[in-house]
C-alpha cells in the first residue's frame, strides 16, 4: 500500500515539513517520523555556500531535489523560487520538478533574482499581478492536478490579500504568505477567510511565526502545510562550527568526537547493514570478506 500523497495529507489536516537539502538530511527527517519534506531553497543555497538570493541555477536546485527524493519516499514540496524566468520558463521548471518526484511546489511573485525577505531590510520588488497570474496559469496547465501548486506572495497587508485572491483564480491550490506579509494572527485569519483556500506557513527560525504559530493557531488560521525551513540548517551549522573551532584550536580529536554522534550509530543510520545484506545476497562469497 502506497503512502498518502501530499495532497491527501494536507486535505486531512496540518502537516509539518522540515527543510532538507541533501540525502543525509532527507534520511534523518524520514527516520525522525515526519510525514513530508520540504526542499528548502534557503538550505540548498547554503549547502552551495551561497546566500538565498537566487544565485544558484534551476539545474542546481533540481539536482538537490533529485538527491532528496532518491533518499526518501516521503512526499516532497519544492521551492522553485521565481520559476527562473517568465511564464514559459516557469512552466518548464515546474515540469522538470514533477519529473524529479515532487508532489508540491511553491513559486513567489518577486522580481528575479529574488531576495530572502527576512535577510534584507526593505520591502522586496514584486512583478505585476498580471505577470504573476500568467506564470501561475502556465505552471498549473503544465503539471498534474494532484501536484499542489502553492503561490507565495511577498506583498503586505491588503495588497497581499488581493494578490492571493488573483492567484487562486489563476489556479493556485494554496497561498503562502511570508513571515513579513502580515504582522498578526488576525491578519492571517482574515487572509484565509477572504481567499478561500488553505494556507502554507513558514515557521522560519527566529521569526514571529515560529514563536506564535502553535498547532492550535495554525488550525485557526487555515494552515495545512507548515514548513520548518531553517531549523535543521541552523542546528547543523552551529554544531559544525563548534566542532571545527575546537579541532582548529588544537583540542584532541578524540575529545571532540566524544560530544558527537558515535560512529557506530552513524553507520547504522546511513544504511551500511542494508548494503552488506545485498552484498551477501548477490556477490560471490570471496568478494564479501
Between CA 93 and CA 184 the distance in angstroms is 34
Same domain, 22 and 150: yes
Same domain, 201 and 92: yes
Confidence (pLDDT) at 122: 74
Between CA 71 and CA 7 the distance in angstroms is 21
Q: What are the pLDDT digits (tens) for 249-276?
A: 999 999 999 999 999 999 999 999 999 9
Same domain, 194 and 282: no
Between CA 204 and CA 206 the distance in angstroms is 6
Residue 250 lies in a domain: no
Specify the range with the lowest mean pLDDT, choosing from 16-20, 171-175, 274-278: 274-278
Confidence (pLDDT) at 130: 98
Confidence (pLDDT) at 114: 81
Q: What is the mean pLDDT of residues 211-225?
A: 98
Same domain, 161 and 277: no
Residue 125 lies in a domain: yes
Same domain, 77 and 209: yes
Same domain, 209 and 271: no
* pLDDT at 1 > cutoff 70: no
Same domain, 157 and 47: yes
Residue predicted with more confidence, 243 or 289? 243
Q: CB neighbours of 257 closer than 8 A, spacing ≥ 6?
A: 263
Residue 18 lies in a domain: yes
Q: What are the pLDDT digits (tens) for 21-58?
A: 999 999 999 999 999 999 999 999 999 999 988 899 99
Print the domain residue range for 215: 6-236
DSSP string, 94-115: HHHHHHTT-SEEEEE-BPSSP-
Same domain, 54 and 117: yes
Q: What are the pLDDT digits (tens) for 55-87?
A: 999 999 999 999 999 999 999 999 999 999 999
- Give the relative orientation of helices 58-71 and 87-99 as an angle to the nearest 10 degrees: 20
Q: What is the mean pLDDT of residues 201-211?
A: 96
Confidence (pLDDT) at 213: 98
* pLDDT at 173 > cutoff 80: yes
CATH number at residue 159: 3.20.20.60
pLDDT band of residue 115 (cuts 50, 70, 90) is confident
Same domain, 289 and 223: no
- Give the relative orientation of helices 263-270 and 272-282 as an angle to the nearest 10 degrees: 60
Alpha helices per DSSP H over 118-206: 129-140, 157-170, 185-195
pTM: 0.94
Number of domains in the chain: 2
Maximum C-alpha span of the chain? 71
β-strand partners of 150: 106, 174
Confidence (pLDDT) at 285: 81
DSSP string, 273-284: HHHHHHHHHHS-
pLDDT band of residue 193 (cuts 50, 70, 90) is very high
Same domain, 265 and 231: no
Percent of the chain scoring above 70 in pLDDT: 97
Displacement of CA 242 from its chain's centroid (Å): 26
Between CA 195 and CA 31 the distance in angstroms is 36
- Average pLDDT across the chain, whole number: 95
Contact 200, 186 (CB under 8 A): no
Same domain, 209 and 91: yes
Same domain, 192 and 274: no
Q: Is the dihedral of CA 170, 40, 225, 193 positive or negative?
A: negative
Amino acid at each position: 500500500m502506497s503512502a498518502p500523497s501530499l495532497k491527501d495529507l494536507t486535505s486531512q489536516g496540518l502537516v509539518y515539513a522540515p527543510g532538507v537539502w541533501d540525502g543525509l538530511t532527507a534520511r534523518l527527517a524520514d527516520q525522525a517520523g515526519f510525514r513530508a519534506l520540504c526542499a528548502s531553497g534557503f538550505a540548498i543555497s547554503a549547502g552551495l555556500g551561497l546566500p538565498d538570493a537566487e544565485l544558484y541555477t534551476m539545474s542546481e536546485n533540481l539536482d538537490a531535489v533529485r538527491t532528496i527524493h532518491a533518499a526518501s519516499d516521503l512526499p516532497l514540496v519544492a521551492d522553485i523560487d521565481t520559476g527562473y524566468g517568465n511564464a514559459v520558463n516557469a512552466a518548464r521548471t515546474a515540469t522538470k520538478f514533477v519529473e524529479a518526484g515532487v508532489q508540491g511546489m511553491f513559486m513567489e511573485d518577486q522580481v528575479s533574482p529574488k531576495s530572502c525577505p527576512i535577510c534584507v531590510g526593505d520591502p522586496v520588488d514584486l512583478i505585476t499581478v498580471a505577470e504573476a497570474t500568467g506564470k501561475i496559469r502556465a505552471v498549473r496547465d503544465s503539471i498534474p492536478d494532484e501536484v499542489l501548486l502553492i503561490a507565495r506572495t511577498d506583498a503586505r497587508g491588503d495588497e497581499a490579500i488581493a494578490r492571493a485572491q488573483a492567484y487562486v483564480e489563476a489556479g493556485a491550490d494554496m497561498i503562502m504568505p511570508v513571515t513579513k506579509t502580515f504582522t498578526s494572527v488576525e491578519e492571517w485569519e482574515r487572509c484565509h477567510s477572504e481567499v478561500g483556500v488553505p494556507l502554507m506557513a513558514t515557521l522560519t527560525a527566529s521569526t514571529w511565526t515560529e514563536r506564535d504559530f502553535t498547532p492550535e493557531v495554525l488550525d485557526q488560521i487555515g494552515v495545512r502545510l507548515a514548513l520548518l525551513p531553517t531549523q535543521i540548517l541552523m542546528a547543523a551549522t552551529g554544531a559544525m562550527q563548534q566542532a571545527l573551532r575546537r579541532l582548529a584550536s588544537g583540542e584532541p580529536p578524540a575529545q571532540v568526537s566524544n560530544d558527537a554522534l558515535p560512529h557506530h550509530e552513524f553507520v547504522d543510520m546511513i544504511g551500511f547493514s542494508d548494503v552488506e545484506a545485498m552484498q551477501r545476497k548477490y556477490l560471490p562469497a570471496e568478494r564479501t570478506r
